[in-house]
Structure 1
Amino acid sequence: MTELADLFAREFPVWHMVVRGTVVYWFLLLVFRFVLRRDVGSMGVADLLFVVLVADAASNAMQGEYKSINDGLVLLSTLIAWNFGLDWLSFRFAWVAKLLEPHAEVLVRHGRVNRKAMKREMITMEELEGKLREGGVESLAEVRIARLESDGQLSVFTVDGRRRGDDVQNSKPPGR
């Protein structure tokens, strides 16, 4: 019976786990928001490996040496609360959503490439052209507007009014 009680015994104070969870949550939020801005839309093998390694590192940073289920539940509850709270705030306040989600970046307008946006997003001309071809667009002259959305998807509208975003969604430029 004591083994079962030990499984649910708390080793750290609740505030300790909340602080650990909060610090790691905000650190990871900033990393994913500002360093890996567009990588959520799709994941390659390297992206998946990175997420697994981050999860393991974050786990070690947050857990310390605890072995109690209750300590783990407090930590998970903290992360869930932050995630839910930020989603709620983003829904209620536009400035929070703007802070947490990058805006759509126009890469091509009326067949002309926005080189500043391409440089900012670190997308090469070859990568852009490849994504356009995947969507059935043969040349830049066909593009009325192409946007890199906040989730990493490329939305393309052609001069003849066709929307090509469905053809290229869930894919990101290869270098990203």
Structure 2
Amino acid sequence: MPELSEMFAPDAPLPETVLRGVVIYLALLAMMRVVGQRESGGLGLTDVLIVVLIAEAVSGGLGGDSDSVTDGIVLTAAILVCSVAVDAAAYRFPRFAAVVKASPRPLIRDGRLNRRLMRREFMTTEEVLSQLRLHGVHDPAQVRLAYLEPNGMISVLRRADG
């Protein structure tokens, strides 16, 4: 059984732990932005990042694989600060937001499928039609606009005449 003082003594220098958290967060954020919106499901990309990174950060301290709970706490704090900083910067600087935050993209316009977006997101026509049916739409011609939202969901605006 480890001594109490060993359990809270950091295994690595605190600046190194913080830097590791920041670098991993930014690298994963960039990679997930490249993957695309559809893969994130109902959560935003930053939500997924936070859950995964914090789970990994605290796993050593929880499972006893690490001698230090402090490392997990410092790493978690670094990840959360990084997340808040990215959100604050995206709020303040629209150009930065365009890089790190996904935006709604038109999937259907005036009944016509955006095949380019579908290829980019690896969406088949059958998948799009399935999502339309969930909105009570049986034919893309009934759709004025449909957007692939940042959380991966599809929002549908019907034609006034349909």
| Matched positions, count | 151
Aligned to 2:149: 149
* 1:108-154 deviations in Å (ceiling 9; x for gaps): 11111121121122111111111111110011111111110111110
TM, length-normalised to structure 2: 0.80
Output aligned runs, 1:14-25, within 5 Å: 14-25=14-25
Report Cα offsets for 1:69-127 as digits up to 9, x if no partner. 11221111111110010011111111111111122221111111121121122111111
Listed as ranges, the gaps of 5+ residues in structure 2 are: none
Provide the residue aligned with 1:172 in structure 2.
none
**Is contact 1:24–1:58 with CA below 8 Å preserved after alignment?**
no
- Amino acid corresponding to residue 31 of structure 1 in structure 2: M
Q: Which residue of 2 aligns with 1:174?
A: none
Give, in whole Å, the separation in 2 of the partners of 1:84 and 1:56: 14
Task: State whether structure 2 residue 82 is matched by structure 1 residue 73.
Answer: no
Q: For 1:1-176, list aligned pairs within 5 A.
A: 3-42=3-42, 59=57, 66-160=66-160
Whichever residue aligns with residue 76 of structure 1, its letter is: T
Moved over 3 A (4+): 54-60
Q: Superposition RMSD on alpha carbons, in Å?
A: 2.9
Percent identity of equivalent pairs: 34
TM-score scaled by length of structure 1: 0.74
Is the Cα contact below 8 Å between 1:146 and 1:155 reproduced in 2? yes
- Which blocks of at least 5 consecutive residues in structure 1 are unaligned? 44-49, 163-176
The superposition leaves residues 19-72 of structure 1 with CA deviations (integer Å, 9 ceiling, x where unpaired) of: 2212211221122221143333437xxxxxx98xx6599559x99x74211122
